[in-house]
């Protein structure tokens, strides 16, 4: 077993992503805030989590809801103050919960003072902190690169006649990571937060940070390319996925390793191939501690498909490296909708998988109660991407609707009478308070699963091994004495196991002794120890 004691807290732990705008509002403006998160720490401690990934709370004009940063070392007044953040970090620490912040290094807001200066003219001190280029002779953009959010990735700056690059919105100019000044500025930013007791970062689009130095045209997409690239017609190899991004991540790892308790670097490694994901782990010790596995996120909730991704991931990971498993985040439809179609039995199976694989699970707020996507009409839209592509793509607001804490006006998210920034949906259908009172709720199941994982060496850090099982089922061993078996099909199926059921999606099965074989009802999962 390669897990050192120092890593046990997060290898064996469960992380929880908070989208702060939608978690808990304490000052009655319909927007979640830092004091709201601090107020819910006892709930999170009872859930049993070890860490929080906080989506951005830094200063932002909210063109992309926090992912357009105007000051990397300041808290957005809408969320509170730096003192509120310090309070959250220390109060969480008292409960054994560490905080990861969200680092957005690919681009800033166009209102960041660096860009305001850069835009002031070709000789500005920060001009080459961003990616500028002359138009083609006919005045068109410098090359054929496209924005992930639609249209050309270049925006003309009328004053200077040059274009600047934006892989996302035009209000999110890309930083020029070839610049030593940019690198130095970010060294100071990561230290600023780590010195304050923040335990690491989730790193936004870390595969895109650096661009081809010659700004070469992207080649046409071909049939084997990912669907989004086929739709755009181009394979994004020159404005994305450049090998030099690894140097930057390794530089931060070196800084992290200089701390007594090294902070974690977890990347938003949104790549299509597991082999590409593995590159972000470096040699297993010198780059990211973990990268989100989008191949798994994008798989269907289907035994064979998921087992294959897990087996391939396990086989490809460098020695000593640790997987990260997720089913939902603020950019993709929630797992209860996307994977489970609202079926609670399927939600429980999905949670059982996430919480029993070898690796650190990241739950997204609401996953623990089986929360589905919220109802969003065109008039509710806040996400620029949804506004642009409605009705073909409704954007990311459905997975960002507020957390339903109770079946009350405002859902316990905000005060009665206050309109939340995004619609609540119907808190009667699914909320924390009702589930806390129900031993058979999804929340009760999630709590048992997390507690079971914390108390079992096998589940916390034991190796993963697939076991033979019928089509539509998935069985795996964790460590020496623990077996997980799931029936992910519509008919009853037998699985082989011997021992005692210590956890099940069907609570009444817990405590049952199993001798050799067990017939599982459709969409049922068990953990058995011998
Ligand atoms: C990441 C974020 C997403 C954001 C994008 C641009 O993918 O998760 O929310 O829009 O980066 O910053
Ligand atoms: Ca508020």
| Average pLDDT of span 312-340 | 97
What is the per-residue pLDDT across 387-425, written as a single tens digit (0 to 9) for each?
999 999 999 999 999 999 999 999 999 999 999 999 999
Overall average pLDDT of the 55-78 stretch = 98
The pLDDT of residue 6 is 86
Q: Which of 60, 64, 106 to mutate to test the pocket of ligand 1 (most atoms within 8 A of CB)?
A: 64
Residue 362 near residue 15 (C-beta atoms within 8 A): yes
Confidence of residue 528 (pLDDT cuts 50, 70, 90): very high
pLDDT at 1 (0 to 100): 39
**442-482 pLDDT, tens digit each:** 999 999 999 999 999 999 999 999 999 999 999 999 999 99
| Closest approach atom of ligand 1 to CA 67 | 12
Q: Which two tokens stand for residue 164?
A: 């600047």
pLDDT band at 383 (very low <50, low <70, confident <90, very high): very high
Ligand 1 centroid to 204 CA: how many Å?
A: 6
Query: In testing the pocket of ligand 1, which one of 62, 72, 204, 396 has its CB within 8 Å of the most ligand atoms?
Result: 204
The long-range contacts involving 424-429, CB below 8 angstroms and separated by at least 24 positions, are: 424/374, 425/374, 425/375, 425/401
Helix axes 180-195, 245-257, angle to 10 degrees: 30
Q: How high is the pLDDT of residue 502?
A: 98
Atom of ligand 1 nearest to the CA of 64: 10
Share of the chain above pLDDT 90, in %: 97
The mean pLDDT of the chain is 97
Half-sphere exposure of 316 toward its Cβ, with a 13 Å CA cutoff? 18
For ligand 1, atom 12, name the residue with the nearest CA.
67
Q: Which atom of ligand 1 lies nearest, measured to the CA of 149?
A: 10
Atom 4 (ligand 1) nearest CA: 67
Q: How far is the CA of 401 from the centre of ligand 2 (A)?
A: 14
88 alpha carbon, distance to own chain's centre: 20
Q: Which ligand ends up closest to the CA of 208?
A: 1
Give the position, in ligand 1's atom list, of the atom nearest the Cα of 329: 8
- Rounded CA separation 400/64 (Å): 13
Closest C-alpha to ligand 1, atom 7 = 205
Q: Which ligand is nearest to the CA of 37?
A: 2
Which pLDDT value is given to residue 2? 43
Within a 10 A sphere around the Cβ of 417, how many other Cβ atoms?
Answer: 8
Closest ligand to Cα 420: 2
Relative to the CA of 68, which ligand 1 atom is closest? 12
CA of 115 relative to ligand 1 center, distance in Å: 19
Burial of 419 (0-12, 13-18, 19+ CB in 10 A): exposed
Q: Are strands 482-487 and 58-59 parallel, antiparallel or unpaired?
A: unpaired
Question: Averaged over 359-384, what is the pLDDT?
Answer: 98
Residue nearest to atom 5 of ligand 1 (CA): 67
Query: What is the reported pLDDT for 509?
Result: 98
Residues in contact with ligand 1 (CB, 6 Å cut-off): 64, 67, 104, 168, 204-205, 268, 330-331
CA of 338 to the centre of ligand 2 (A): 29
**Confidence grade of residue 242 (pLDDT, cut at 50, 70, 90):** very high
Give the residues across from 51 on adjacent strands: 15, 98
Closest ligand to Cα 167: 1
Residue pLDDT, tens place only, 89-101:
999 999 999 999 9
Cα of 215 from ligand 1 centre, angstroms = 23
Mean pLDDT along residues 269-283: 96
Q: How confident is the model at residue 32 (pLDDT cuts 50, 70, 90)?
A: very high
CA of 33 to the centre of ligand 2 (A): 5
Answer whether 0.95 is exceeded by the pTM. yes
Spell out a b/e string for 15-51, using b for 16 or more CB atoms within 10 Å of the CB, else e: bbbbbbbbbbbbeeebbbbbbbbbebbeebeebbbbb
Per-residue pLDDT band for 84 (boundaries 50, 70, 90) equals very high
Is residue 4 pLDDT above 70, yes or no?
Answer: no
CB 490 within 8 A of CB 471: no
State in Å: Cα 33 to ligand 1 middle: 20
Give the number of the atom of ligand 1 that is nearest the alpha carbon of residue 107.
12
Cα–Cα distance between 528 and 484 in angstroms, integer? Answer: 6
Report the pLDDT value the prediction gives residue 75, as an integer from 0 to 100.
98
The set of catalytic residues is 204, 260
Whose Cα sits closest to atom 2 in ligand 1? Answer: 204
């Amino acid at each position: 077993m390669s897990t050192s004691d120092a890593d046990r807290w997060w290898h064996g732990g469960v992380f929880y992503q908070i989208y702060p705008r939608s978690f808990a509002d304490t000052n009655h403006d319909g927007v979640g805030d830092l004091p709201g998160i601090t107020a819910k720490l006892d709930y999170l401690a009872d859930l049993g989590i070890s860490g929080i990934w906080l989506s951005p709370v830094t200063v932002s004009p909210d063109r992309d809801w926090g992912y357009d940063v105007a000051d990397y070392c300041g808290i957005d007044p809408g969320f509170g103050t730096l003192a509120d953040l310090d309070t959250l970090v220390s109060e969480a620490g008292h409960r054994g919960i560490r905080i990861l912040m969200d680092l957005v290094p690919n681009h800033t807001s166009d209102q960041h003072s660096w860009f305001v200066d850069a835009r002031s003219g070709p000789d500005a001190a920060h001009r080459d902190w961003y990616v500028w280029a002359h138009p083609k002779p006919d005045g068109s953009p410098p090359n054929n690169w496209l924005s992930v959010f639609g249209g050309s990735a270049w925006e003309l700056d009328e004053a200077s006649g040059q274009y600047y690059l934006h892989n996302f919105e035009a209000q999110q100019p890309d930083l020029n990571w070839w610049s030593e000044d940019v690198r130095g500025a970010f060294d100071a930013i990561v230290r600023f937060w780590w010195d304050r007791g923040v335990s690491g970062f989730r790193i936004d689009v870390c595969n895109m940070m650096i661009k081809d130095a010659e700004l070469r045209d992207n080649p046409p997409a071909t049939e084997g390319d990912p669907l989004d690239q086929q739709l755009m017609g181009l394979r994004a190899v020159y404005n994305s996925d450049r090998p030099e991004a690894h140097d930057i991540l390794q530089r931060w790892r070196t800084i992290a390793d200089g701390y007594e308790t090294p902070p974690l670097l977890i990347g938003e490694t949104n790549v299509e191939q597991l082999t590409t994901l593995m590159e972000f782990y470096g040699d297993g010790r010198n780059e990211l501690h973990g990268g989100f596995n989008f191949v798994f996120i994008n798989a269907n909730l289907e035994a064979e498909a998921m087992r294959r991704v897990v087996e391939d991931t396990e086989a490809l990971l460098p020695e000593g490296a640790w997987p990260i498993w997720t089913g939902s985040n603020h950019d993709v439809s929630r797992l209860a909708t996307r994977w489970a179609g609202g079926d609670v039995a399927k939600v429980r199976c999905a949670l059982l998988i996430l919480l029993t694989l070898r690796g650190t699970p990241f739950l997204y707020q609401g996953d623990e109660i089986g929360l589905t996507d919220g109802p969003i009409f065109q008039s509710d839209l806040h996400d620029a991407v949804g506004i642009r592509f409605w009705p073909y793509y409704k954007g990311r607001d459905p997975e960002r609707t507020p957390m339903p804490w109770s079946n009350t006006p405002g859902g316990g998210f905000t005060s009665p009478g206050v309109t939340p920034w995004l619609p609540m949906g119907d808190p009667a259908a699914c909320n924390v308070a009702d589930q806390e009172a129900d031993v058979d709720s999804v929340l009760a199941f999630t709590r048992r699963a997390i507690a079971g994982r914390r108390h079992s060496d096998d589940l916390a850090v034991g190796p993963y091994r697939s076991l033979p099982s019928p089509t539509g089922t998935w069985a795996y061993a964790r460590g020496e004495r623990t077996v997980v078996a799931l029936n992910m099909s519509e008919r009853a199926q037998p699985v082989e196991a011997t021992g005692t059921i210590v956890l099940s999606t069907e609570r009444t099965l817990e405590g049952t002794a199993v001798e050799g074989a067990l017939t599982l009802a459709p969409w049922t999962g068990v953990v058995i120890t011998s």
